[in-house]
Amino acid sequence: MNHVNDHGERDKLQDVEMDIDQKKEENKEGGDDANMMQMNGDIQGNGATNQEDAEMEEDECRSEATFRYTVENISKLKETALSPPCMVRNLPWKIMCQPRPGSERHNQKTMGFFLQCNAESDSVSWSCNASATLKLIHQTNEAESHTKKIQHLFYSKENDWGYSNFIVWNELLDPNRGFVADDKIILEVHVKADAPHGVSWDSKKHTGFVGLKNQGATCYMNSLLQTLFFTNKLRKAVYLMPTESDDSDKSVPLALQRVFYELQFSDKPVGTKKLTKSFGWETLDTFMQHDVQELCRVLLENMESKMKATVVENTIPRLFEGKTLSYIRCKHIDYCSSKEEAFYDIQLNLKGKKNVYESFQDYIKVESLDGENKYDAGEHGLQEAEKGVSFLSFPPVLHLHLLRFMYDPMADAYVKINDRFEFPERLNLDKFLNPKEKKDKTPASYILHAVLVHSGDNHGGHYVVYIAPRGDSKVKTGQNWCKFDDDVVSRCTKQEAVDNNFGGHDEEVAVKHCTNAYMLVYIRESCLNDVLCEVTEADIPQTLIERLAEERRLEAQKRKERTEAHLYMTIQVVSNDNFYGHQGNDLFDPDRVNYRTFKVKKSCSISEFLDIIAENMKYPLQQMRVWPIQSRQNQTVRPTFLDLDTYGHKTVQETADSESPWTVWVETLSPESGLQELPVFDKDNVLIFVKLYDPKTASISFCGHMYVPISAKVSELMPDLCRRAGFPINTPLTLFEEVKPNMVELIDDVNLPLEKTLEELMDGDIIVFQRDDPEVHQYELPTAKDYFKDLYYRVEVIFCDKLNPSDPGFSLDLSMRMNYDQMANAVAQYLHTDPYLLQFFKPQSYREGPGNAIRCTFEGNLKDLLLYSKPKQPRKLYYQQLNIRINELENKKQFKCTWVNSKLKEEKELVLYPNKNGRVSDLLEEAKKQVTLSEDGSGKLRLLEVISYKIYSIQREETLLDLLSSQGSTKSYRIEEIPLDEVNLSSNETLIPVAHFQKEVFSTFGVPFLLKIKQNEPFSAVKERVQKKLDIPDKEFEKYKFAVVVMGRVEHISDEDQNIRVDLDIFKPHAIQGANMQARPWLGLDHVNKTPKRTRYNYLEKAIKIHN
């Protein structure tokens, strides 16, 4: 049982237990309850007229209703009592009443009072947001009725909501309280519901309009699209944009035309996937909620650029462009600097403002430039002046963006301002126009057209839009507004559209505190008829209508194919054309061949299928024969004979043995044969394919096929083979049988018949032949057997640039038996570089990306390097191009650190390559080759160890690099030039580490640094050096607090202590008890961290872009 939490967690558990038993009883007795209990005026007889039916149907889709339920014999009530249903928004609503036993917290028996919605539905996808007033009627003085309010999103798992302890049972039955008369009580509910989601709600029928489907988080876009759609003049211009030759996937204008057309003529919610696809957005973009104001600007700019040089050029500026004048006017001399600027929207500050008029007044407020902030008037010098903005003109369609999201420096985050902010239905902006410069000839009187509303906080939420589609929101009936909530559209009142979205705290349960207007659209009253002009089908180019109709026809055809897919099977057809050029085993590569594909009904006979192929390939039936491609046990795929006398009447599914796709080879009669039909093929013949191998080019040529008698000798084939190869007839040949991958056997005795020469003679066997040349051994792969053996070990490897994560790479066919040098030479040849200037990396075994480096002395072969490649995934290796030779690099140690200049700016990351057995001094010498030193500096460098934004130590130059560890995410090394005054320190001077922190010493940030201090110098001098080193203005430096931090203990230095003297002993390392180490004190600068924090969710910072 779902109820308002007025009694605590234990009551909730008890409620759930009771709910299970009570539901069982309700399911048994629901029919009797419906007959026994009456509802006021909501049950009609069977004799209703058609008009009454229509009225009832309209009544059932209403947004609110009040209904009562009389509970008889209340003092004897033991079980849950349910009222008959009252239909609101086409959903059944019931009053639920039940006695509630006492709990540990409330030991008195109480009455539970709930509102139930759509409880008998089996659907789990529906939802309906509603507010309600639950009332226990006082039967002598209704004004004293007991009332409580609820607001809830009803859905399948929470289909009832209310109070488990609405009233104490004894108070309910007390005659003096007036709630009971004749052992009856009267319960009343006034429910007000939004249009439901996930159930049958016909938006077109109830409002005349349809909604837009939400792709995941596109409600902000849907709200904006509806607003632009109902800017009728813009819609008409979008229809007229020329898109005849546009790409249907990438054209934003065409996608917008499609959405607008479907919004205008469709009866169902409209999808936006093609629109977001035309934006160039990925799937993830549709699950990111962006700013509707930003999208509005980007989309209008995109449309404006696409409208240039068309019949609708300048439509956007004519509708949305206004003009402002920014000025700086000197007070005491006649000098003014001004600039006229155009705007498409106005951003209004609402913090501390009551309404739109106050925000406009704030917008044009004049700022005085005086004192230290005087204006530089050029030849007139510094002058006192006034700075401000005035409006020259307002556009026909005025977009007002309310700045609900503001940066809070205390929280270092954007927060939403939910303050109350009123906006009128009629807005007059005449008083905000510059009286001297104004360009408007008509009054700046506006009518409210749309209200975009946001519910939620700065991390997310939901957008809806309220629109007065015909611009008649000023009509007093108040029923001219519609609410567009993604795919659901419903009529609503002026109060719901306007008054309820002012924001602010409200005791009313009906509206959430975080629900308020975010963007307002006003239309100039004098332009109302023009902006909201009627848009009919006659305004849409016929070519566009026909194109969209063709798209719908093709989509319907695809949907039909998908629904009927189980009735069809795919047949893939190959011909001799697919065999030419193939350099591998068998006749073609199944993964790369360009099949001719047929979708054929599974019930289609083989004879019918042959008719289809004959018609498609334009061949007579007698000049073609079908051979199914069969996978043999020896890992080859070869054609096999299909006897039409046996299989001609059988179905393709039966013949293919349910294999889908089914691959067949279609043999066709060669025009050069001079025959009218294919020769007869019988059981005494065998189908043989022949290939020619050329050792000079190490390549294979397909030479066709032949029908050969089984008893024929191999030698009888040789003249025909010579003819096919273009050799003289008597050319000596060497023949091989291609048995399977890596098994090509020499045919020794050509005088034997085929059945004794070839292994297990079958249709589809392949003979490979080559010229019998005594000089053949000069070639790398002298025989066909050598070629196919090499081919067996050949593999496609993709090489990707390690330094470019998005690099698709390039592929090379390499032998798995290659050693490191052979592989490096092949890659270097492709990249046109020296193989010794390449370094290779293995792939990671568990995810994408480069793994460990491969040493140039690697003694294995390519097969060993590809062990970690995932099955059925492309084999991949990574490389990077080097500036030094790989054999030199492998004797060096890679060391990453940061270079910081004298102004403490982190300039760049250094990747240094000192010798492996080198020292810190060697590392610093390497660094000098990559950095720019100060002109007046010392020319000497030092290496600092930095942990958690604090300097931990200065590394001695004689320290071995192998002793430096960079483990840990908070640890790093930094190289900097030693300032001239820090090279040689006297006995009364030392360097101390300084770090920034905010409030807590563990919240360190920024760039730490070393500071020279002297024994017994005043602390004020130390502060001056810190300020000079950091280059901080006086005003900001006043906010800095100083502290000495020793092992986490903070000793603040107050302003009164500024004249204390420095004691170097304080900054000496402190021994840590029980540990073989020392803690070094540091000077802390306590101030606000102005470095913007990086959000965990980087996608929230992603700007909206329309890529096409």
* Per-residue pLDDT reduced to its tens digit, 518-543: 999 999 999 999 999 999 999 999 99
Over residues 1014-1033, the mean pLDDT reads 89
Q: What is the pLDDT of residue 106?
A: 62
What single letter denotes the amino acid at residue 1033? Answer: P
Query: Over 60: is that where the pLDDT of 478 sits?
Result: no
Q: pLDDT (tens digit, 9 = 90+) per residue, 929-976?
A: 888 888 888 889 999 999 888 998 899 999 888 888 765 556 889 999
The C-alpha atoms of residue 498 and residue 422 are separated, in whole angstroms, by 9
Q: 400: closest CA among 538, 292, 536? A: 292
Q: What is the pLDDT of residue 438?
A: 63
Judge whether 1010 and 993 are in contact, CB under 8 Å. yes
Over residues 80-97, the mean pLDDT reads 93
Q: What is the pLDDT of residue 270?
A: 92
Q: What is the pLDDT of residue 1061?
A: 87
The C-alpha atoms of residue 844 and residue 174 are separated, in whole angstroms, by 78
Q: How far out from the chain centre does Cα 877 lie?
A: 29
Output DSSP code: residue 711.
T
User: What are the structure tokens assigned to 957, written together?
Assistant: 């130059």
Q: Where are the beta strands (DSSP E) in 394-524?
A: 397-402, 405-408, 413-416, 426-428, 445-457, 460-467, 481-485, 488-492, 515-524
Query: Over 50: is that where the pLDDT of 218 sits?
Result: yes
What single letter denotes the amino acid at residue 613? Answer: I
Per-residue confidence band for 293, with pLDDT thresholds at 50, 70 and 90: confident
By CB atoms closer than 10 A (0-12, 13-18, 19+), residue 436 is exposed
Per-residue confidence band for 133, with pLDDT thresholds at 50, 70 and 90: very high
Q: What is the pLDDT of residue 290?
A: 63
User: What are the structure tokens assigned to 889, written together?
Assistant: 């690099």
- List strands edge to edge, sheet with 685-694: 699-709, 685-694, 765-771, 733-740, 743-746
State which of 101-110, 782-791, 1045-1054 shows the largest mean pLDDT.
782-791
The C-alpha atoms of residue 674 and residue 681 are separated, in whole angstroms, by 18
Query: Over 90: is that where the pLDDT of 993 sits?
Result: yes
Q: 90: closest CA among 130, 68, 63, 127? A: 63
Entry pTM: 0.60
Judge whether 899 and 908 are in contact, CB under 8 Å. yes
Q: pLDDT (tens digit, 9 = 90+) per residue, 699-756?
A: 999 999 999 999 999 999 999 999 999 999 999 999 999 999 989 999 999 999 888 8
Output DSSP code: residue 718.
H
Residue 689: CB atoms within 10 A of its CB come to 22
The C-alpha atoms of residue 547 and residue 254 are separated, in whole angstroms, by 10
Over residues 868-884, the mean pLDDT reads 81
Query: Over 60: is that where the pLDDT of 506 sits?
Result: no
The C-alpha atoms of residue 948 and residue 958 are separated, in whole angstroms, by 25
Burial track 19-35 (b if 16+ CB lie within 10 A, e otherwise): beebeeebeeeeeebee
Q: What is the pLDDT of residue 513?
A: 67
Q: 918: closest CA among 954, 896, 891? A: 891
DSSP string, 898-946: EEE-TT--EEEEEEE--BTT-BHHHHHHHHHTTS---TTS-S-EEEEEE
597 has which bridge partners?
A: 572
The C-alpha atoms of residue 193 and residue 497 are separated, in whole angstroms, by 14
| Residue 75, CA distances (Å) to 170, 184, 224, 432, 963 in order | 10, 8, 56, 68, 87
Q: Which residue has the higher pLDDT, 856 or 1094?
A: 856
Per-residue confidence band for 476, with pLDDT thresholds at 50, 70 and 90: very low
219 included as an active-site residue: yes
Q: Dihedrals φ, ψ of 908, to 5°?
A: -160, 160
Per-residue confidence band for 92, with pLDDT thresholds at 50, 70 and 90: very high
How wide is the angle at C-alpha 83 spanned by C-alphas 79 and 84, nearest 5°?
A: 135
Q: Which residue has the higher pLDDT, 758 or 422?
A: 422
Burial track 1046-1063 (b if 16+ CB lie within 10 A, e otherwise): eeeeeeebeeeeeeeebe
How wide is the angle at C-alpha 337 spanned by C-alphas 335 and 342, nearest 5°?
A: 150
| Residue 1054, CA distances (Å) to 1022, 1040, 1043 in order | 14, 11, 9
User: What are the structure tokens assigned to 753, written together?
Assistant: 């018949």
Element (H, E) at 616: helix 606-617
Q: What is the pLDDT of residue 1058?
A: 65
Per-residue confidence band for 510, with pLDDT thresholds at 50, 70 and 90: very low
By CB atoms closer than 10 A (0-12, 13-18, 19+), residue 284 is exposed
The C-alpha atoms of residue 417 and residue 457 are separated, in whole angstroms, by 9
Per-residue confidence band for 422, with pLDDT thresholds at 50, 70 and 90: very high
The C-alpha atoms of residue 805 and residue 246 are separated, in whole angstroms, by 33
Q: Which residue has the higher pLDDT, 473 or 264?
A: 264
For residue 409, is the peptide bond before it cis, meaning its omega torsion is within 30 degrees of 0? no
Judge whether 375 and 369 are in contact, CB under 8 Å. yes
Q: What is the pLDDT of residue 298?
A: 83
The C-alpha atoms of residue 130 and residue 20 are separated, in whole angstroms, by 25
Q: What is the pLDDT of residue 1107?
A: 64
How wide is the angle at C-alpha 490 spanned by C-alphas 486 and 494, nearest 5°?
A: 110
Q: Dihedrals φ, ψ of 1030, to 5°?
A: -90, -10
Summary mean pLDDT of the chain? 85
Helices (H), 986-1058: 1019-1030, 1034-1037
Q: What is the pLDDT of residue 265?
A: 93
- Active-site hit among 138, 146, 190, 462: 462
Query: Over 70: is that where the pLDDT of 245 sits?
Result: yes
Q: Percentage of the chain surpassing pLDDT 70?
A: 87
Q: Percentage of the chain surpassing pLDDT 90?
A: 47
Query: Which of these ranges, 52-56, 209-213, 750-754, has the smallest mean pLDDT?
Result: 52-56
Integer Rg of the chain from CA: 42
φ/ψ region of 725 (left if φ > 0, alpha if ψ in -120 to 50, else beta) reads: alpha
- Sole residue written with tokens 């292994």: 759
Q: What is the pLDDT of residue 424?
A: 94
Over residues 136-145, the mean pLDDT reads 91
- Active-site hit among 219, 604, 722, 856: 219
Q: pLDDT (tens digit, 9 = 90+) per residue, 424-452?
A: 999 999 999 988 766 667 889 999 999 99
Judge whether 838 and 882 are in contact, CB under 8 Å. yes
Q: What is the pLDDT of residue 1000?
A: 84
Over residues 276-303, the mean pLDDT reads 73
Per-residue confidence band for 472, with pLDDT thresholds at 50, 70 and 90: low
Per-residue confidence band for 48, with pLDDT thresholds at 50, 70 and 90: very low
By CB atoms closer than 10 A (0-12, 13-18, 19+), residue 292 is buried
Over residues 210-238, the mean pLDDT reads 89
Q: What is the pLDDT of residue 10?
A: 31
Q: pLDDT (tens digit, 9 = 90+) per residue, 609-618?
A: 999 999 998 8
The C-alpha atoms of residue 351 and residue 403 are separated, in whole angstroms, by 8
User: If you count them, how many residues does the chain have?
Assistant: 1108
Per-residue confidence band for 82, with pLDDT thresholds at 50, 70 and 90: very high
Per-residue confidence band for 13, with pLDDT thresholds at 50, 70 and 90: very low
Over residues 896-912, the mean pLDDT reads 83
User: What are the structure tokens assigned to 157, written together?
Assistant: 């798992």
Q: What is the pLDDT of residue 406?
A: 78
User: What are the structure tokens assigned to 647, written together?
Assistant: 């299989």
Q: What is the pLDDT of residue 457?
A: 78
Q: What is the pLDDT of residue 186?
A: 95
Q: Strands 86-88 and 91-100: what pairing?
A: antiparallel
Q: What is the pLDDT of residue 968?
A: 58
Q: What is the pLDDT of residue 24?
A: 33
- Decide: helix, strand or coil at residue 972: strand
Q: What is the pLDDT of residue 543?
A: 92
* Cα torsion 281, 287, 290, 296: sign: positive
